[in-house]
């Protein structure tokens, strides 16, 4: 927050930027160390700067996804598997729903028959609905690629807008926006298609709106409040978790601002409180009007979740070690191997998503010491430090601050490490402000040297005929400012640049799912092996790319928790264990057959498909297929037929479970443990054993 009162300015410290409320009649509005006039006023020059920044950020995003845009954007992305498959589905459904008259908030195409509540999941409707024309024309994979490309560019542009308001140096604001929009946190999330965590455009814009409310006077408070309400609405449809994190981060800043002004500038509080209360009230009203129904739908609507989103994880899971902020180690080889095998980013490596580095922290610390009167620095450092403390692992540190919040409703589902989104913004702002102050001091010093004076580092009084240093001084000062920014930001960029462009792979749809099939049309419910409620979630991409011709048993996300499947829960757990562990420790017995038989009834399944196509990627190959085939044959009571690289049971509703000796089930499944090629043999073995029992 910027600005100081006219009374403070009268004491001869115009260069000092205050926090929060300012005298509405004036005060210091320029940059803390800005030699040039403010550059955030409307006009051709400002529009040109924003246009140039937008084009450059978009070009950088294209470079990040170069292998997509130089090949086949409609058929290639990070992976047609894992969480990427989940987001492909969520981006595809709104276009299908809008063109077929269905709800964009709920669907029975996934998790049949209970359906899926898109607002209770990371559905990304803020991308899916506006990009529906892309889906109609080129398909959901293209939509995902467009969203992944726009995300860092929009985040960078939003940060650029905030920094342009706070510093006078356009190049510094551009660099700061670039670093924030393409930070390790953003890129690592987008590599796994986590749009809900990698799209951070709302946070800088919300801070910008609050700066106008607390300090500015260009817009009416009601207008600013409405804009804040609209930003909250956009963030709700981008990701509710980041909405909570944004609210907590901004709330922390507001508390610090209010506390400071109540202690040292009560007169300013009395001057501005009506504007602030009016604006925040308008924001609250706007948010309630726009989000009341969506919030109810997410928390209490059909197919909503009760309790912890991921109850199988330890409470308050997901923090980071403080040492991670300066650790250059990236994703571990073990985790990368798991991602390659089960679905996730298929590249060779990823940088540390929380990395800031000692150089950046050193620049901020030095800036606080030298420019200790600049309250923007203290605000950014204060909010950043408090939010960094919230990321500390609760499980390892008994005094971790998140213990105070992690047990509360709604907050219990927040992954604390994602407060890094706020930490990164604070770090970016602090570095840019320090660099701006250094650049101005160097510029003033160069000018003063030529005129015989010698200003100190804190002196930012105007110089030159119109308060503007000579051209040579501005060049030298700007070079110094960019040098400081380079020292802080270069190690951060080094976490991203080696992995760019990101690795992408073709989205391969098995032949059986690539075109209409008997048993996979309107009214049909398909269970796939691998089932999508395991880590192998490719079946959701197959359904979405195919145009939602049928409904799918199971799905990804929190709905895959076995406890949420009712009577089908034991079968969900069984299939998850089969896929994860290769079938070895799963008991192949009458109980397992009964669990599958019950689940097929609950799911109203009409078709079961075991993919048998050796040329598919490893993550689309069914693990434990032989065991699954043995149990399904016993539960359905007949053998599957082979068609287009798959083993298929149709008319599953008319089944008759067979009683098979447990030893025979295990023996038949063990006949082929090398993959799905022996499904037919396993099925015949099971039926023969069932016939032998009479």
DSSP string spanning 157-192? Answer: HHHHHHHHHH-S-HHHHHHHHHHHHT-HHHHHHHHT
Burial (CB count <10 Å: 0-12, 13-18, 19+), residue 636: buried
Q: Residue 147 pLDDT more than 70?
A: yes
Tell me what pLDDT residue 16 has.
39
**Per residue in 448-479, pLDDT tens?**
777 765 555 655 443 333 456 677 788 898 89
% of the chain at pLDDT higher than 70: 88
CB-based contacts of 272: which residues, under 8 Å, 6+ apart? 21, 22, 24, 214
pLDDT in tens, 109-128: 999 999 999 999 999 999 99
The C-alpha atoms of residue 541 and residue 529 are separated, in whole angstroms, by 14
Q: Which residues contact 501 (CB under 8 A, 6 or more apart)?
A: 63, 64, 65, 66, 67
pLDDT of res. 28: 37
Average pLDDT over residues 31-38: 37
3-state per-residue secondary structure call for 449-510:
HHHCCCCCCCCCCCCCCCCCCCHHHHHHHHHHHHHHHHHHHHHHHCCCHHHCCCCCEECCCC
Burial (0-12, 13-18, 19+ Cβ within 10 Å), 322: middle
- The pLDDT value recorded for residue 166 is 87
> Is it the case that residue 40 has pLDDT exceeding 70?
no
Tokens (6 digits) for 30: 């320029």
pLDDT surpasses 50 at 27: no
Min mean pLDDT across 56-65, 357-366, 387-396 is at: 387-396
- The pLDDT assigned to 224 comes to 96
Q: What is the pLDDT of residues 630-658, one digit of tens each?
A: 999 999 999 999 999 999 999 999 999 99
Q: Of 541, 557, 678, which Cα lies nearest the Cα of 619? A: 541
């Amino acid at each position: 927050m910027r600005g100081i009162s006219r009374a403070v300015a009268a004491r001869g410290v115009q260069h000092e930027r205050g926090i929060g409320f300012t005298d509405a009649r004036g005060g210091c509005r320029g940059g803390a160390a800005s030699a040039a006039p403010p550059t955030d006023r409307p006009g051709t020059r400002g529009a040109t700067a924003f246009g140039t920044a937008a084009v450059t950020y978009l070009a950088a995003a294209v470079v990040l996804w170069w292998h997509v845009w130089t090949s086949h954007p409609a058929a290639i992305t990070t992976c047609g598997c894992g969480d990427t498959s989940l987001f492909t589905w969520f981006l595809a459904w709104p276009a299908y729903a809008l063109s077929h008259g269905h709800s964009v908030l709920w669907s029975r195409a996934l998790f049949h028959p209970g359906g899926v509540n898109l607002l209770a999941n990371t559905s990304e409707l803020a991308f899916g609905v506006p990009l529906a024309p892309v889906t109609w024309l080129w398909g959901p994979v293209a939509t995902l690629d467009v969203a992944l490309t726009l995300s860092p560019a929009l985040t960078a542009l939003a940060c650029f807008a905030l920094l342009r308001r706070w510093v006078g140096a356009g190049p510094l604001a551009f660099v700061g926006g670039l670093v924030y929009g393409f930070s390790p946190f953003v890129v690592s999330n987008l590599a796994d298609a986590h749009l809900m965590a990698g799209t951070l455009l709302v946070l800088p814009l919300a801070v910008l709106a609050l700066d106008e409310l607390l300090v500015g006077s260009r817009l009416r408070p009601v207008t600013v409040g409405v804009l804040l309400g609209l930003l909250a609405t956009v963030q709700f449809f981008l990701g509710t978790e980041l909405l909570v994190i944004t609210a907590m981060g901004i709330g922390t800043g507001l508390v610090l601002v209010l506390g400071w002004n109540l202690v040292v500038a009560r007169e300013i509080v009395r001057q501005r409180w009506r504007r602030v209360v009016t604006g925040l009230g308008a924001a609250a009203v706007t948010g309630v009007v726009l989000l009341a129904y969506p919030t109810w739908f997410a928390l209490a609507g059909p197919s909503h979740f009760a309790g912890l989103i991921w109850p199988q994880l330890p409470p308050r899971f997901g923090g980071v070690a403080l040492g991670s902020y300066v650790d250059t180690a990236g994703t571990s080889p073990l985790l990368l191997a798991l991602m390659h095998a089960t679905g996730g980013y298929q590249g060779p490596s990823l940088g540390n998503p929380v990395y800031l580095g000692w150089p950046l922290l050193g620049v901020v610390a030095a800036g606080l010491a030298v420019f200790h009167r600049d309250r923007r620095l203290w605000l950014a450092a204060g909010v950043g430090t408090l939010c960094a403390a919230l990321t500390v692992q609760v499980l390892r540190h008994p005094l971790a601050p998140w213990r105070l919040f992690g047990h509360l409703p709604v907050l219990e589902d927040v992954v604390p490490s994602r407060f890094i989104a706020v930490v990164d913004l604070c770090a970016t702002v602090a570095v840019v402000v320090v660099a701006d102050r250094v650049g101005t001091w160097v510029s003033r010093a160069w000018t003063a040297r030529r005129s015989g004076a010698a200003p100190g580092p804190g002196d930012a009084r105007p110089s030159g005929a119109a308060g503007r240093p000579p051209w040579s001084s501005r060049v030298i000062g700007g070079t110094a400012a960019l040098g400081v920014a380079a020292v802080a930001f270069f190690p951060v960029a080094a976490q991203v640049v080696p992995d760019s462009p990101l690795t992408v792979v073709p989205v391969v749809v098995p032949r059986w799912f690539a075109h209409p099939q008997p048993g996979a049309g309107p009214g049909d419910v398909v269970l796939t092996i691998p089932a999508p409620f395991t880590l192998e979630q490719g079946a959701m991409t197959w359904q979405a790319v195919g145009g939602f011709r049928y409904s799918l048993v199971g799905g990804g996300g929190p709905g895959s928790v076995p406890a949420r499947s009712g009577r089908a829960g034991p079968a969900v757990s069984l299939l998850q264990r089969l896929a994860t562990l290769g079938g070895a420790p799963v008991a192949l017995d009458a109980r397992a057959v009964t669990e599958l038989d019950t689940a097929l009834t609950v799911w109203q399944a009409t078709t079961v498909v075991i993919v048998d196509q050796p040329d598919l990627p490893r993550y689309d190959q069914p693990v434990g297929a032989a065991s699954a085939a043995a149990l399904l044959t016993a539960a359905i009571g007949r053998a599957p037929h082979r068609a287009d690289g798959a083993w298929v049971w149709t008319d599953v509703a008319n089944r008759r479970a067979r009683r098979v000796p447990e030893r025979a089930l295990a023996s038949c499944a063990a006949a082929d443990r090398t993959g799905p090629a022996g499904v037919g043999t396993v099925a015949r073995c099971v039926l023969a054993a069932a016939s032998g029992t009479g």
